Structures are given as structure tokens and as C-alpha cells.
Amino acid sequence: MAEKLVRTSYLDVTGQPRQGMTSLRESRVDVERYAQPLAGTHASALHRWGIGIGLGVSVAAAGVRIGVGVAVDAAGRHISLAAGGTAKLEEQVLTPVGENGVLVSTAGVSGTLVVTIAWAETFDKAEFQASQTFLMMETPLLRFRPATGSRTSVPRWCSPRSRSTAWAT
């Protein structure tokens, strides 16, 4: 997807480096109107959406484990399920991500399902309360969705290194 990119110029009109500090507004422009759209444009135009690496799915006694890994959504946003990070479950509950990923309970679900991962972020309230720092954490959203058709008709991701995310109860 093509997107207009805008960034702050750190040179004055004569081509010399500007003096002084950049403003909060200029920093915001650099991140929200240049760096983020540039990353999304790059990922969606030069690569394809899907799993880049990891995100393996396995059945465990208490649910389904989704391993750590990285994906790109159709808008080009990177989705990183990383050890030490946090994931958001369907009920908007935040859960820590361990070295082996996230265990998602299957209590109350049945049938043939697929596990989906979507880009999401959450304001870090604890960090704000501790240091008045405004941080957004990437918190990939993990959900179960009914599979349509047979197990073989569940779409596979674009990467040849990935696996189908279908499982049956």
C-alpha cells in the first residue's frame, strides 16, 4: 500500500544543521507520519502478509500454546509475539509471553477452530503510574475462530517456514 510519508527536516534553509532541540510535535511527526508508515509500506509492498518465523501452534493439556514469532498483517504492521512481552486474549485480558510463547485456555470452546493473531497495542498504565512515561506496548491479539471447510482447506500462511494454525478438539 502506498502512503504519503512526511518527516522533520533537521537542516535549516541554508542546508546547515538546525540548532537546538526538536519539539515533541516534530518527534511525533517523525514516528507517526514517517517511520511507522514507512515500515508498513515496506512490509506490505515488498513482502507479503503472513507468518515470517515461529508462531507454531501445539495442543497442550490446558489449552493451545502459541510459540513466539513474528508475522505481518495485510496493512504491513509487524506483529511480534515476544518472550517478555504481553499478549491480549479475546476477552481483552493481558497475559505474559514466556520463552515458550502463550498458553491459551480452550475451556468453553469446541469444534474445529483456527487460532488467529492480529496487531494490537495497549497503553502501559503501570509505566505511566511509575514514571509518568507515555508508552504503548504491542500486545498481539490471539483469538479462536471457527474453521470453514476441512482441515486441508484452512489457508496456509505465505511463508514456507510456517505451519497451518488449525486444530481440532
Tell me the pLDDT tens digit for each residue of 67-115. 999 998 888 888 999 999 999 998 889 999 999 999 998 888 888 888 8
Q: Are residues 139 and 85 in the same domain?
A: yes
Per-residue pLDDT band for 158 (boundaries 50, 70, 90) equals: very low
Calpha distance 17→113 (Å, rounded): 56
Q: Are residues 81 and 96 in the same domain?
A: yes
Calpha distance 55→68 (Å, rounded): 5
Q: Are residues 33 and 56 in the same domain?
A: no
Q: Are residues 78 and 156 in the same domain?
A: yes
Query: Contact 103/155 with Cβ under 8 angstroms?
Result: no
Query: Contact 34/73 with Cβ under 8 angstroms?
Result: no
- Residue 92's region, left for phi above 0, alpha for psi from -120 to 50, else beta, is left
DSSP lists the bridge partners of residue 137 as 122
Check: pTM over 0.75? Answer yes or no.
Answer: no
Query: At 37, which helix (H) or strand (E)?
Result: helix 36-46
Domains in the chain: how many in total?
Answer: 2
> Residues 50-60: what's their mean pLDDT?
89
Per-residue pLDDT band for 167 (boundaries 50, 70, 90) equals: very low
Q: Are residues 30 and 94 in the same domain?
A: no
Domain range for 68: 50-168
Q: Are residues 128 and 97 in the same domain?
A: yes
Stronger pLDDT, 160 or 78, i.e. the higher one: 78
Give whole-number Cα distances, 47 to 35, 38, 41, 53, in Å. 17, 13, 10, 13
Q: Are residues 61 and 143 in the same domain?
A: yes
- At 51, list the grid cell: 507468518
Q: Are residues 89 and 8 in the same domain?
A: no
Per-residue pLDDT band for 159 (boundaries 50, 70, 90) equals: very low
> Residues 136-148: what's their mean pLDDT?
88
Kindly report the average pLDDT of the chain as a whole number: 79
Q: Are residues 40 and 78 in the same domain?
A: no
